[in-house]
Amino acid sequence: MDDYRITSPVEVDDFLKRLLNANALMTLSGPGGTSYTTMLWAVDSTRGIVCFSAETGDTRLQALLETEEVVAVGYLDSIKLQFDLEGVVQVHGNGTVALNAQYPRTLYRFQRRSSFRVKPLVSSTPVAHMRHPALPDMKLDLRVLDISLGGVALFLPHNVPMVSPGVKIGQCFLDLDSDTRLEIGLIIHHVSVINPESQGARLGCELINVNGATERALQQYVNQTEKRRLALAMSQD
């Protein structure tokens, strides 16, 4: 399950708030098939709670409150998000009913982080700046084909000396947009010719030397690019 586990507080908070803002339906399940469908009402990492809407008198809710194991599942488009809920209690106030639970510290995203890649939008072309590993005097400015939290694919033009698989590049600068430049390292894992017309090759790279700030910036870029792509697709329907 390590490929699916998310423990970064920034990512956990981001996904919970996306579920909240999307008014995504959430299914709360317990042992024996007990389940209750609801929505997130509030997400508060400072107080350490998540809050779900509820209705009084629902027998399914009462059955759920009697169990000690509750799992929450929601969807953001094709992404399934799952997390355990602890300390689930029913609260009343101002004529409303809600379910409070402890703020989850771990989420499971069932779309592999390493393979969940986004392609840059046509209006934005991220570029990777580095020196050729075999020719240190040669500076390379390679277009980003796609990117994830763990890897990036770069376009190597046909008139640039080939880069061999297995090569490690200690310093690379990723310009994701006009305001975001990240310093990372790369390991070249795969080199493949895209097609004869492209006149170039695809470098499949693993990101290394990624610190917390860089990871947060990458996560924000991946999320924002995904949101904008979906918005563009919806506007064209």
Which tens digits make up the pLDDT trace of 25-68? 888 988 877 888 889 999 999 999 999 998 877 788 888 888 87
Identify whether residues 156 and 101 lie together within a single domain: no
Domain of residue 179, residue span:
127-236
Instruction: Tell me the pLDDT band of 130, cut-offs 50, 70 and 90.
Output: very high
Inter-residue contact 38 to 99 (CB < 8 Å): yes
**Is residue 229 scored above 80 in pLDDT?**
no
Residue 85: per-residue pLDDT: 94
DSSP string, the chain: -TTTEE--HHHHHHHHHHHHHTT-EEEEE-GGG-EEEEEEEEEETTTTEEEEE--TT-HHHHHHHT-S-EEEEEEETTEEEEEEE-S-EEEEETTEEEEEEEPPS-EEESS-TTT--BPPPTT---EEEEEETTEEEEEEEEEEEEE-SSEEEEEEETTS----TT-EEEEEEEEEETTEEEEEEEEEEEEEE--GGG-EEEEEEEEES--HHHHHHHHHHHHHHHHHHHHHHHHH-
Identify whether residues 138 and 229 lie together within a single domain: yes
Residue 112: per-residue pLDDT: 46
Domain of 214, CATH number, reads 2.40.10.220
**Is residue 22 scored above 50 in pLDDT?**
yes
From 77-86, 108-117, 218-227, the region with the lowest mean pLDDT? 108-117
Query: Which token pair is 25?
Result: 């339906």
| Number of structural domains the chain divides into | 2
Identify whether residues 168 and 91 lie together within a single domain: no
Identify whether residues 105 and 155 lie together within a single domain: no
Which tens digits make up the pLDDT trace of 200-216? 888 989 899 888 888 88
Q: Is residue 120 part of a domain?
A: no
